[in-house]
Structure 1
Amino acid sequence: MQEKIFFNILTIFISRFQLFLTDSVLVDIEVYLFKHCLFSYFFIGSPLNAPENTLASFDQAKKEGVDLIEFDVGFTKDFVPVLMHDDDLDRTTNMNGPLNKFNFVELEKCNCAAKFSSMGNQDFTSNFEPICTLENLIEWSIKNNVKMLFDVKDTEIKLVKLIALLFERYNLYNKAIVCSFFPTVVYRVKKENPNILTGITWRRWFITYDDIEFTVPRSSSKLIFFISMILDVIWIWCVKLWIPEFLGVDMVLTERREISPFYLKNMTARGFKVCAWTVNERNEMAWMSRELKIPFLTDAPYIASHVLKNVNAEKN
């Protein structure tokens, strides 16, 4: 992971320099939808009420009043884009192993509901939920008039080109935004088609730790751990000062603990929409909606809907 991120950043610098030499004209794009809209909250489906990254989850989220759904995109062995949060199938399905080691036809028996247990206020009764393809989800979103946030975890150039193709085929320019932790992904997407809205996602200690609680180091080597921490400090500084401009992104998706009035003021002054993730606590939702007036990603849309009703009632 450490080497992957370093290579990503180095590649961007080289590509950006080449682009500057060959083409200094930037395309003006209309970003009204995400820069000036009044979206209240975004969703990762409704994963507490239905299996994550499935159509059942998005159906449930739609019932709970979604503005936009966020989903994770990965590749199968035969390069079919599907929805899956992890690199492997172990945590959420009845199968084991890396997603990219299976052809799509082999995933027909993959049950995304195999390990699901409802923790929300709705009962999920289905015993089988198939793996969802990206194209199926796009068609569902258009049919249900729901905006989309592509969370891209695969750095394959093929995926970037496919996303650009799907944006053109389905005319998604005012319906979706592409985001990633990996700067090369959003940079390549914007370079492939400047009209696609992009966002950089970040959190503290992403290079060093595999989890947001900072308990699982990505490497057992003390030397690599130390180098990773240095890279993390540099990366955070870069994100806060100049990386969003450098990548040409339209949105900065920020881990909830990094959100503050000062941070928001800084990003807003530079022309970026800020979205917080992942906000599941009622008081925090109210603070971000009432005081900061920013959108947020949540796993609990049914809680968010109640919070926002109260916030809107206060305005009236």
Structure 2
Amino acid sequence: MQEKIFFNILTIFISRFQLFLTDSVLVVIESFKCPENTLASFEQAKKEGVDLIEFDVGFTKDFVPVLMHDDDLDRTTNMNGPLNKFNFVELEKCNCAAKFSSLGNQDFTSNFEPICTLENLIEWSIKNNVKMLFDVKDTEIKLVKLIALLFERYNLYNKAIVCSFFPTVVYRIKKENPNILTGITWRRWFITYDDIEFTVPRSSSKLIFFISMILDVIWIWCVKLWIPEFLGVDMVLTERREISPFYLKNMTARGFKVCAWTVNERNEMAWMSRELKIPFLTDAPYIASHVLKNVNAEKN
């Protein structure tokens, strides 16, 4: 009897996940043509034919969830300082287009793109029938509870998935509401280096750097061997250079969907969609839509 109940529950989860990924091979982080994590970028991505958008979620000082990739405002806006040191009302003059230069060198600096709240984006996504991938950067427990509340309020169970580099976030989300689809995001040397090119160490201390490298090696093996099962995730978001047929076969055999990030090169897109048949995150939906159109034409 217990086995039958477990099988029925498992079937429900698989069905929901398949529904979530229906026709969602083309997923997008941003469009190169607009400032990141703004409604303008997602509007542009929608025009370019995306199925799903990925965005970064952070917290203001007064616990308003907003879209922001970095911990601070310096790189992308006209303001400086940590995001969580400002109340939301103080960010009304924050321009997310202040330092943006689009593909083709179109000047965006004269435009004003306000910080987008998470709830505004959810409403936009539902209205435009675009699925969502929450990339949670903040480990604050209040954010986890708020995301769970928004899933319940807007019935996002077949419309969104919550992912994070931080296993504590994924674990808490699943514990808060087991019906929420979750994913663990990983890349090589995440603990040691701040950037994906492995050129900016997170610490200038040689001792901390050495310890971080050891922890990174341990973490990579944990992800590959048992962490996804322990966290109960539905998807493993994997940095594109880690993708291989063997890796995909291993994860699939264990019951996990694999999504690659960030894929902007045409041939790599074709390989992943034609040969591996996995979804991928991209900053270049205009290229990806053309590649996928060709792949679909080959099937017919």
Q: Same fold (TM over 0.5)?
A: yes
Q: Quote the Cα distance in structure 2 between the aligned partners of 1:147 and 1:313.
A: 24
> Aligned pairs, how many?
299
CA deviation vs aligned residue, 1:32-83 (integer Å, no higher than 9, x gap): xxxxxxxxxxxxxxxx110100000000000001110000000000000000
Q: What does residue 9 of structure 2 align with?
A: 9
Task: Please tell me whether the aligned partners of residues 26 and 288 of structure 2 are also in contact (alpha carbons under 8 angstroms).
Answer: no
Offset, 1:133: 0.1
Offset, 1:4: 40
CA deviation vs aligned residue, 1:107-165 (integer Å, no higher than 9, x gap): 00000011111115988697100000000000000000000000000000000000000
Offset, 1:169: 0.3
Runs of 4+ with >4 A deviation: 1-30, 120-126
Task: Please tell me whether the aligned partners of residues 24 and 51 of structure 2 are also in contact (alpha carbons under 8 angstroms).
Answer: no
Offset, 1:246: 0.3
Offset, 1:313: 1.2
Task: Please tell me whether the aligned partners of residues 12 and 184 of structure 1 are also in contact (alpha carbons under 8 angstroms).
Answer: no
- Choose which of 210, 232, 250 in structure 2 pairs with 1:248: 232
Q: Quote the Cα distance in structure 2 between the aligned partners of 1:171 and 1:187.
A: 20
Q: Quote the Cα distance in structure 2 between the aligned partners of 1:69 and 1:149.
A: 6
Offset, 1:194: 0.1
After superposition, the Cα gap between the structure-2 partners of 1:155 and 1:7, relative to the gap in structure 1 and judged at 3 Å, is farther
Alignment RMSD, CA only? 9.4
After superposition, the Cα gap between the structure-2 partners of 1:221 and 1:169, relative to the gap in structure 1 and judged at 3 Å, is same
1:136 aligned onto 2:120: yes
After superposition, the Cα gap between the structure-2 partners of 1:49 and 1:294, relative to the gap in structure 1 and judged at 3 Å, is same
Q: Give the match's secondary structure for 1:204.
A: coil
Q: Which runs of 5+ in 1 are unaligned?
A: 31-47
After superposition, the Cα gap between the structure-2 partners of 1:158 and 1:212, relative to the gap in structure 1 and judged at 3 Å, is same
Q: Give the match's secondary structure for 1:27.
A: strand
Offset, 1:181: 0.1
Q: Quote the Cα distance in structure 2 between the aligned partners of 1:118 and 1:20.
A: 31
Task: Please tell me whether the aligned partners of residues 55 and 133 of structure 2 are also in contact (alpha carbons under 8 angstroms).
Answer: yes
Task: Please tell me whether the aligned partners of residues 49 and 124 of structure 1 are also in contact (alpha carbons under 8 angstroms).
Answer: no
Q: Give the match's secondary structure for 1:10.
A: helix
Q: What does residue 74 of structure 2 align with?
A: 90
Task: Please tell me whether the aligned partners of residues 78 and 98 of structure 2 are also in contact (alpha carbons under 8 angstroms).
Answer: yes
Task: Please tell me whether the aligned partners of residues 61 and 87 of structure 2 are also in contact (alpha carbons under 8 angstroms).
Answer: yes
Task: Please tell me whether the aligned partners of residues 26 and 285 of structure 2 are also in contact (alpha carbons under 8 angstroms).
Answer: no
Q: What does residue 65 of structure 1 align with?
A: 49
Offset, 1:314: 1.2
- Choose which of 170, 179, 182 in structure 1 pairs with 2:166: 182
Task: Please tell me whether the aligned partners of residues 16 and 158 of structure 2 are also in contact (alpha carbons under 8 angstroms).
Answer: no
Offset, 1:315: 1.2
Task: Please tell me whether the aligned partners of residues 89 and 97 of structure 1 are also in contact (alpha carbons under 8 angstroms).
Answer: yes
After superposition, the Cα gap between the structure-2 partners of 1:200 and 1:134, relative to the gap in structure 1 and judged at 3 Å, is same
After superposition, the Cα gap between the structure-2 partners of 1:78 and 1:164, relative to the gap in structure 1 and judged at 3 Å, is same
Q: Give the match's secondary structure for 1:109.
A: coil
Q: Quote the Cα distance in structure 2 between the aligned partners of 1:9 and 1:271.
A: 14
Q: Which moved more, 1:216-225 or 1:259-268?
A: 216-225
Task: Please tell me whether the aligned partners of residues 26 and 50 of structure 2 are also in contact (alpha carbons under 8 angstroms).
Answer: no
Percent identity of paired positions between Structure 1 and Structure 2: 98
After superposition, the Cα gap between the structure-2 partners of 1:133 and 1:27, relative to the gap in structure 1 and judged at 3 Å, is closer
Task: Please tell me whether the aligned partners of residues 202 and 253 of structure 1 are also in contact (alpha carbons under 8 angstroms).
Answer: yes
Task: Please tell me whether the aligned partners of residues 26 and 52 of structure 2 are also in contact (alpha carbons under 8 angstroms).
Answer: no
Q: Quote the Cα distance in structure 1 between the aligned partners of 2:120 and 2:104.
A: 26
Q: Quote the Cα distance in structure 1 between the aligned partners of 2:88 and 2:4.
A: 26
Offset, 1:217: 0.6
Q: Quote the Cα distance in structure 2 between the aligned partners of 1:72 and 1:141.
A: 15
CA deviation vs aligned residue, 1:252-297 (integer Å, no higher than 9, x gap): 0000000000000000000000000000000000000000000000
After superposition, the Cα gap between the structure-2 partners of 1:9 and 1:314, relative to the gap in structure 1 and judged at 3 Å, is closer
After superposition, the Cα gap between the structure-2 partners of 1:3 and 1:258, relative to the gap in structure 1 and judged at 3 Å, is farther
Q: Give the match's secondary structure for 1:178.
A: strand
Task: Please tell me whether the aligned partners of residues 189 and 198 of structure 2 are also in contact (alpha carbons under 8 angstroms).
Answer: yes
1:75 aligned onto 2:59: yes
Q: Quote the Cα distance in structure 2 between the aligned partners of 1:120 and 1:259.
A: 30
After superposition, the Cα gap between the structure-2 partners of 1:71 and 1:289, relative to the gap in structure 1 and judged at 3 Å, is same
After superposition, the Cα gap between the structure-2 partners of 1:51 and 1:4, relative to the gap in structure 1 and judged at 3 Å, is farther
Q: How do 1:98-247 residues align onto structure 2 when only pairs under 5 Å count?
A: 98-119=82-103, 127-247=111-231
CA deviation vs aligned residue, 1:153-209 (integer Å, no higher than 9, x gap): 000000000000000000000000000000000000000000000000000000000
Task: Please tell me whether the aligned partners of residues 12 and 187 of structure 1 are also in contact (alpha carbons under 8 angstroms).
Answer: no
